[in-house]
């Protein structure tokens, strides 16, 4: 059929532009007259010249032309219309293609008066009759008319002026002025035509009551019974006018009143009721008799027989005062279209009805009143069905959205805040398919990769994981270009959760917990009770925290604020460390892990050779209300020198703080206790007894002879030593640099704080002494050049900035100060002549 097709419908011609051909193109419509001039068709011209442009449910464009439309060619009973369509992919209509379509239709016999109510205009055409007595007169000179009335054309017959009858006044306009005001006027050999846009200034809205019509019907039909009807007001657009035209030297007047119903549509019980009064005062003025001749109705300008109406469950009632048509909402012949109200998706049922009513009266003879009525039901909100399922073998989530009507089209998606056009969605892991159904509706199927960032995976319970897709779809409607969004949330539960597991162990000084991550805990956070364990927080307590994505490792010292103690015996202490993984958003507890080990009580006490005792008391489980700062020794004046939330450390001499002693043949035993008293109570609720044993030196009489003694000497021994060298961030030696922070960058002359520690053996009788320390510009210790930092245990006196030694004191971390050496070096660089060897 090509891009355009035509159909004759009585005195109307319909031309349809194919949606397949003109879809997604910008269009301009023109009417071509007999001279070949193309007139662009806009809304104003369409209403003035007898054209109507509509859209169908299939997104086609339809153009309807009246038989007496502007620029059409009327010859006898055939009228011809030629249209030109320009189509372009660009808004500025560049590179447009041009299409011509010419069609002719036979309009049939004219009635004396024909009234047409189109969607955008009203039209009345009446037979132009000249009395025979006037035809017999002869006019001597045509110029005589133009001398008296210059506005009148020189033709034998022409429209001169039109008079509008308003309630308050009458207003006359010349033809040229009426045309400029938007009115359409035309005439042929036999007819005079007036076309009025509904928006014209002289149009009035008149409410016609059914009760009034019933009274008029009774009068016209000479009936003594007046039907009992409610006074239903039906609004009409009305224009009362008279048109004057010249025939030879006589002025003739024609009544060109026109009226079209504006409303009259009710919606009740899923049924559309369209009521059209038979007797309309502007059209029935001066009538004294009335007789129905024909009542016909149809859809899309196609008349329907009684059998066809019954099949569609239409009802056409020809009552005394009115014609009523009842259409079930959703019936065949109409269609649903997408509608948007306040951003909400809905539907409206639309049907294009027409009614033709012919009657005879004593004034006009036969009148044909044709009403074209597009009826649209009120907005009804629609729900969008969304279904989803997982295809684990393919690694896809399938989501079906819809159904949607043919006039709605998916244009883009909003994925994690980003707007993505449909063709680009595949780059984000989305495949989009459209499924079409026999009734023209459609659904959209989204296939989303389970690895797409927009699919969130969340642990539910036991071995279940929830796969959740959140995406927003944006649609546009045609031809109204309204937009609406459909939020899509699809959730599926799958038994594929792998929970984290843990192993724990202890060495002589630390508790270690290693957590193997699963597939649900990527965003779970480690907590110790309500304390979030971050890398920075771990460094504060000298904890070690490592996370490589697959394993989370935590190491804490035995004497730590977050270690719990229980089962205190002379042979062992049970120490436990508890860790909880929590959800990063809700902080809900997900998994608990712990590691428990037995430590020797000797870890808590040091009996130094010089008679100094260092004892650390610990708070046991169940004693949470115990304040470690209030712990004392037997002599309550002896208080702890170092206090944490869970420990208290005392440092004192065995001959003080109420320490008792016992002797036997080989040893002396010193005994004391760490006690805790509640205020006002002399009975301790906490009691930790500890002992220190010292060997007794034996004495004997020996002969003495004075002689020169050889100088003292140290006999060398053999064994394994474990040493460590650490670089600290500050002079307090509390925060060492971690492996991840190397290499360390410093400015020249900035201080570097070094610590050398004897790790093994842990023998209090050993002292650590440094002999030679030097620096190189590579990681190979014997490489050249070298610069001495310590020489024979002393600072390098050739150095401009000499090495500074720092005293090592006892602390919770340092049990044997004699096993550590600390010194400070200023940052320097190697030079040769005046050039840097390495930066």
Cβ neighbours of 220 (radius 10 Å) = 18
Q: What pLDDT does residue 718 have?
A: 60
Domain count for the chain = 6
Average pLDDT value for residue range 159-167: 82
Question: 481 and 511 in one domain?
Answer: no
Average pLDDT value for residue range 309-317: 96
Q: What pLDDT does residue 30 have?
A: 96
Write the pLDDT tens digit of every residue in 617-655: 888 877 767 888 999 999 999 999 998 888 899 999 999
| 259 within domain boundaries | yes
> Which tops the pLDDT comparison, 223 or 28?
28
Q: What pLDDT does residue 697 have?
A: 65
> Which tops the pLDDT comparison, 575 or 443?
443
**CATH no. for residue 819?**
2.60.40.4100
Question: 673 and 754 in one domain?
Answer: no
pLDDT(29) > 60: yes
Question: 395 and 367 in one domain?
Answer: no
Question: 659 and 637 in one domain?
Answer: yes
For 598, 729, 746, 751, 779, the CA distances from 839, given in Å and listed in that order, are: 49, 20, 10, 17, 14
**CATH no. for residue 609?**
2.60.40.3210
Q: Quote the CA–CA distance of 818 and 727 in Å, as a whole number.
A: 19
Question: 55 and 22 in one domain?
Answer: yes
Question: 355 and 304 in one domain?
Answer: yes
Q: Name which of 224-233, 369-378, 696-705 the model is least confident about.
A: 224-233
Going by the DSSP 8-state scheme, the letter that residue 711 receives in this structure is P
Question: 213 and 354 in one domain?
Answer: yes
Of 494, 513, 548, the residue at which a domain comes to its end is 494
Three-state helix/strand/coil letters over 34-78: CCCCEEECCHHHHHHHCEEEEECCCCCEEEEEECCCCCCEEECCE
Question: 536 and 419 in one domain?
Answer: no
| 552 within domain boundaries | yes
Q: Quote the CA–CA distance of 419 and 671 in Å, as a whole number.
A: 77
| 539 within domain boundaries | yes
For 373, 519, 759, 818, 819, the CA distances from 720, given in Å and listed in that order, are: 106, 45, 11, 18, 15
pLDDT(252) > 60: yes
> Which tops the pLDDT comparison, 170 or 630?
630
**Percent of the chain having pLDDT more than 70?**
88
**Percent of the chain having pLDDT more than 90?**
46
| 702 within domain boundaries | no
Task: Label the pairing between strands 483-494 and 464-477.
Answer: antiparallel
User: What DSSP letter does each residue of 638-686 carry, written as one string?
Assistant: ---SEE-SSEEEEEEETTSTT-EEEE-SSEEEEEEEEEE--TT--S-SE
**CATH no. for residue 575?**
2.60.40
pTM: 0.61
Q: What pLDDT does residue 212 have?
A: 44
Q: What pLDDT does residue 221 have?
A: 45
pLDDT(333) > 60: yes
Q: Are 337 and 390 in contact (CB under 8 A)?
A: no
Q: What pLDDT does residue 792 have?
A: 84
Write the pLDDT tens digit of every residue in 733-788: 989 998 888 888 888 888 999 999 998 888 877 889 988 898 888 878 888 888 88
Query: Residue 832: beta bridge partners?
Result: 835
Write the pLDDT tens digit of every residue in 485-539: 999 999 888 888 888 999 999 887 899 999 999 888 888 899 998 889 998 889 8
Handedness of CA 343, 349, 354, 357 (dihedral sign): negative
- The structure tokens listed for 124 are 């009345």
> What is the band of 151 on the pLDDT scale with cuts at 50, 70, 90?
very low
End-to-end, the C-alpha distance of the chain in Å comes to 83
Backbone torsions φ then ψ of 12, nearest 5 degrees? -125, 145
> What is the band of 56 on the pLDDT scale with cuts at 50, 70, 90?
confident
Question: 355 and 235 in one domain?
Answer: yes
> Which tops the pLDDT comparison, 657 or 761?
657
Cβ neighbours of 323 (radius 10 Å) = 20
Average pLDDT value for residue range 351-372: 94
- Give the range of the structural domain holding residue 775, as residue numbers without chain letter: 722-836
Decide: helix, strand or coil at residue 348: strand
Of 466, 494, 522, the residue at which a domain comes to its end is 494
Q: What pLDDT does residue 57 have?
A: 66
Write the pLDDT tens digit of every residue in 812-826: 788 888 999 999 998
Question: 341 and 226 in one domain?
Answer: yes
Q: Are 13 and 5 in contact (CB under 8 A)?
A: no
pLDDT(228) > 90: no
Q: By C-alpha distance, which of 824, 786, 833, 832 is closest to 804? A: 824
Question: 646 and 770 in one domain?
Answer: no
Q: Are 220 and 279 in contact (CB under 8 A)?
A: yes
Q: What pLDDT does residue 838 have?
A: 55
Question: 505 and 427 in one domain?
Answer: no
| 139 within domain boundaries | no
List of residues 6+ apart from 833 with CB closer than 8 A: none
Q: Quote the CA–CA distance of 223 and 244 in Å, as a whole number.
A: 37
Q: What pLDDT does residue 711 have?
A: 55
Q: Name which of 248-252, 437-441, 573-577, 687-691 the model is least confident about.
A: 248-252
pLDDT(143) > 60: no
Q: Quote the CA–CA distance of 258 and 238 in Å, as a whole number.
A: 6
Of 554, 583, 599, the residue at which a domain comes to its end is 599
pLDDT(224) > 90: no
Q: By C-alpha distance, which of 333, 332, 325, 343 is closest to 379? A: 343
Q: What pLDDT does residue 125 have?
A: 93
pLDDT(681) > 60: yes
Q: What pLDDT does residue 714 have?
A: 54
Write the pLDDT tens digit of every residue in 79-102: 999 999 999 989 888 999 999 999
| 704 within domain boundaries | no
| 473 within domain boundaries | yes
| 140 within domain boundaries | no
Backbone torsions φ then ψ of 45, nearest 5 degrees? -65, -40
- What's the mean pLDDT when you consider all of the chain? 85
Q: What pLDDT does residue 131 have?
A: 54
């Amino acid at each position: 059929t090509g891009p355009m097709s035509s159909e004759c419908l009585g005195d109307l011609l319909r031309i349809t532009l194919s949606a397949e051909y003109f879809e997604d193109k910008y269009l301009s419509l023109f009417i071509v007259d007999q001279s070949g001039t193309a007139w662009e068709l806009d809304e104003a011209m369409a209403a003035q010249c007898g054209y109507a442009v509509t859209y169908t449910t299939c997104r086609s464009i339809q153009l309807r032309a009246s038989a007496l439309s502007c620029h059409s060619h009327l010859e006898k009973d055939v009228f011809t219309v030629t249209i030109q369509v320009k189509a372009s992919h660009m808004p500025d209509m560049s590179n447009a293609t041009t299409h011509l379509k010419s069609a002719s239709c036979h309009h049939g016999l004219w009635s004396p008066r024909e009234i047409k109510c189109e969607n955008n205009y009203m039209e009345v055409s009446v037979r132009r009759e000249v009395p025979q007595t006037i035809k017999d007169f002869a006019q001597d000179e045509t110029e005589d008319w133009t001398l008296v009335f210059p506005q009148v054309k020189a033709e034998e017959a022409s429209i001169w002026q039109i008079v509008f009858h308003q309630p308050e006044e009458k207003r006359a306009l010349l033809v040229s002025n009426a045309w400029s005001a938007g009115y359409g006027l035309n005439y042929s050999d036999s007819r005079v035509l007036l076309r009025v846009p509904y928006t014209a200034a002289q149009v009035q809205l008149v409410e016609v009551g059914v009760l009034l019509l019933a009274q008029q019907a009774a009068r016209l039909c000479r009936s003594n019974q007046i039907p009992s009807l409610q006074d239903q007001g039906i609004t009409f657009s009305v224009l009362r006018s008279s048109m004057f035209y010249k025939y030879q030297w006589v002025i003739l007047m024609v009544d060109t009143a026109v009226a079209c119903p504006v409303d009259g549509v009710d919606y009740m019980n899923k049924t559309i009721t369209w009521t059209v009064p038979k007797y309309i005062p502007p059209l029935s003025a001066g009538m004294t008799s009335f007789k129905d001749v024909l009542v016909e109705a149809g859809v899309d300008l196609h008349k329907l027989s009684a059998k066809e109406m019954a099949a569609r469950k239409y009802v056409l009632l020809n009552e005394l005062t009115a014609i009523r048509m009842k259409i079930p909402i959703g019936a065949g012949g109409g269609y649903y279209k997408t509608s948007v109200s306040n951003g909400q998706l809905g539907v409206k049922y639309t049907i294009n009805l027409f009614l033709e009513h012919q009657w005879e009266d004593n004034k006009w003879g036969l009148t044909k009143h044709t009403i074209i009525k597009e009826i649209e039901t009120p907005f009804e909100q629609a729900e969008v069905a969304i279904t989803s399922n997982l295809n684990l073998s393919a690694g896809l989530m399938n989501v079906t959205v819809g159904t949607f009507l043919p006039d709605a089209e998916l244009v883009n998606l909003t994925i994690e805040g980003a707007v993505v056009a449909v063709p680009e969605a595949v780059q984000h892991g989305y495949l989009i398919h459209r499924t079409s159904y026999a009734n023209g509706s459609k659904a959209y199927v989204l296939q989303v990769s389970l690895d797409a960032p927009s699919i969130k995976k969340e642990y539910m319970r036991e071995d279940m994981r929830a796969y959740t897709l959140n995406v927003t779809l944006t649609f546009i409607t045609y031809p109204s270009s309204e937009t609406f969004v459909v939020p899509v949330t699809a959730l599926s539960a799958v038994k594929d959760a792998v929970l984290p597991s843990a192993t724990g162990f202890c060495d002589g000084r630390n508790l270690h917990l290693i957590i193997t991550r699963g597939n649900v805990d990527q965003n779970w956070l480690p907590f110790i009770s309500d304390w979030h364990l971050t890398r920075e927080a771990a460094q504060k307590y000298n904890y070690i925290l490592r996370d490589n994505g697959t394993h989370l490792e935590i190491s804490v010292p035995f004497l730590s604020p977050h270690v719990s103690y229980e089962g205190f015996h002379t042979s062992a202490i049970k120490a436990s460390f508890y860790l909880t993984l929590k959800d990063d958003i809700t902080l809900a507890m997900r998994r608990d892990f712990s590691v428990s080990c037995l430590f020797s009580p000797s870890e808590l006490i040091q009996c130094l050779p010089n008679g100094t005792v260092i004892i650390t008391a610990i708070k046991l489980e169940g004693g949470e209300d115990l304040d470690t700062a209030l712990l004392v020794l037997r002599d309550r004046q002896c208080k702890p020198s170092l206090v944490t939330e869970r420990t208290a450390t005392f440092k004192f001499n065995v001959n003080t703080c109420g320490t008792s002693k016992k002797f036997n043949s080989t040893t002396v035993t010193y005994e004391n206790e760490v006690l805790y008293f509640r205020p006002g109570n002399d009975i301790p609720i906490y009691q930790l007894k500890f002992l220190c044993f010292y060997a007794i030196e034996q004495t004997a009489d020996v002969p003495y002879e004075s002689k020169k003694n050889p100088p003292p000497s140290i006999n060398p021994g053999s064994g394994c030593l474990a040493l460590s060298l650490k670089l600290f961030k500050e002079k307090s030696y509390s925060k060492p640099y971690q492996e991840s922070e190397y290499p360390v960058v410093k400015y020249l002359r900035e201080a570097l704080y070094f610590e050398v520690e004897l790790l093994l053996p842990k023998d209090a009788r050993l002292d650590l002494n440094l002999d030679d320390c030097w620096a190189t510009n590579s990681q190979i210790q014997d490489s050249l050049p070298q610069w001495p930092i310590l020489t024979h245990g002393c600072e390098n006196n050739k150095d401009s900035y000499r090495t500074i030694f720092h005293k090592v004191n006892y602390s919770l971390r340092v049990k044997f100060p004699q096993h550590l050496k600390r010194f400070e070096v200023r940052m320097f660089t190697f030079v040769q002549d005046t050039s840097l060897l390495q930066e």
